[in-house]
Amino acid sequence: MSDRNARNPWLNFLFEEQKRNYQMNSVEGFHGALLISQELLQHGGMYMQSHFAQACDMALKLKDHRDPAVHRAAIALLPVLARYSPQEFTRAGSGGSESMLGRACNYLITLSRASDRDRATAFLALGSIAQYCSTEFRSFLEPTTRAIRDALIQRAKMRIPPAEADETVAAVLQTIATLATAMGPALTRYMRDILDLMFTAGLSQALCDSLLVLEREVGQLQPAIQGRLLDMVSIILVGVPFRPTQQSLDDLEQRMGAMSMHYAAGANGHRANAGAATNGNGAGAGGGRDTYTVPAGDSTSLVVRAASSIPVTVDTLVLALRTLRVFDFSEENLSEFVRNDILQYLNHSSPVVRREAIHAVAHIVMADPLYRSMAGAGVEVASEVVQRLVSAAVIDLDRDVRLMAVQMLEQSSHFDFHMGKAQNIQDLFLLLNDEVFAVRVTVLAVIGRLANMNPAHVMPSLRRMVVQLLTELEFARTNREREECIQLLMVL
């Protein structure tokens, strides 16, 4: 109570300043009044309850001001008002007049269609209002999604390159995510015409963030989202859309000793354009999926067209590989995709791409139960992944890549069955001489775990390693050498 009494004089002072600024009838005064009102609503507690209607009137009067700063400050105040008192914001006015919610949403929807300059601001405000007034916003959901669709169509017609940054698209994607959080499955029916259009702006972090929220909040869209994402990622990495593994055809190709023609076509030329020529060691670089219905025609034609026009840069490759580990694609069989395509990026010239490729393949193999068994279709792929990770940890010139590789091996015991092979154990012991201490510590933890898997190959070398560490500890010249020896021995 004493804290509240102490705050009231300052809140009264700020409110009087807000009124004084508003009465100045100038650009600076209006802008100051809007900013003070926003701060009072956000940090003044219940103080503004009695002044709520006045703040609403001020926002409505100044929303069309000719000065951009005042205009945008008034728009920014609308969602703040909705958050402060959703009941008052959605309550109809005296005499049955339109509620503040109706007046604000109708204005913002119209603004999102009429003004290119304020379109992003209008969409973000709409999303925030939906978040705070989700039940009452349902009547505005259809016109809002229609405005979103029209904005994406307009961008597609302008033929803006997918990789080019666009403030409006980023705001639209963020608004879709906010609407999904606020409305949940009620958004499903409105996504028919929007989902494909979301991909026309190309693969971006904003798109991935929005799709992650859609997957979580609107589960019915998950098959459609993942199908389109896999197509886009596959086109970026391979040059062709993703082809789900067909067991009978793949078995036939394996018996014939031939790689899938689908991936062979993508391998010819595309990776050369992707810049996967040599790595730091001088090595050479190596319609029925979803149940969600879309309008007539090829459901992913827009996705394929957009992905095909994305310039393949290091940043694009990193984002595509990161997408594979961020999203849960365990419902798809990615065995051939991992083996023939993703693993090739462990030889890319950029260490950033190599690190992300290691993280992606490790995540796919660790997350899918198919690759955890000691027999079956996933054993060969898991064994090849482990072998490539061990090789990368041994021969890569970049210390961060080597550390990432051994960390992936250390994080999951599911790899132990494959790491227990004699050749892999021999290579892991070579890493105990790595110049990076973190690599030595991590790989020693892996070796210690493998002692139970294959003691015949691990224990003799491990005994020699312990004797060597004790000898180095005895004759160490610096405190740092002693500390490292002790830490290594404690790992065991």
Distance CA 29, CA 128 (A): 26
398 vs 278, more confident:
398
Question: With 0-12 CB in 10 A as exposed, 13-18 as middle and 19+ as buried, what is 96?
Answer: exposed
Identify the pLDDT of residue 115.
75
- Per residue in 353-393, pLDDT (tens digit) is 999 999 999 888 887 776 766 666 677 888 888 889 999 99
Q: What is the mean pLDDT of the chain?
A: 81
Distance CA 313, CA 186 (A): 38
3-state secondary structure (DSSP) of residue 24: coil
Identify the pLDDT of residue 265.
41
Of 189-203, 276-290, 337-351, 451-465, least confident by mean pLDDT is 276-290
* pTM, to two decimals: 0.79
- Per residue in 48-91, pLDDT (tens digit) is 898 999 999 999 999 999 999 999 999 999 999 999 999 999 98
Handedness of CA 295, 301, 302, 304 (dihedral sign): positive
269 has pLDDT over 50: no
Residue 270 pLDDT grade (very low, low, confident, very high; cuts 50, 70, 90)? very low
3-state secondary structure (DSSP) of residue 278: strand
**Length of the chain measured in residues:** 492
The helix or strand, by DSSP H or E, that contains position 304, with its residue range, turns out to be: helix 301-308
**% of the chain exceeding 70 in pLDDT:** 83
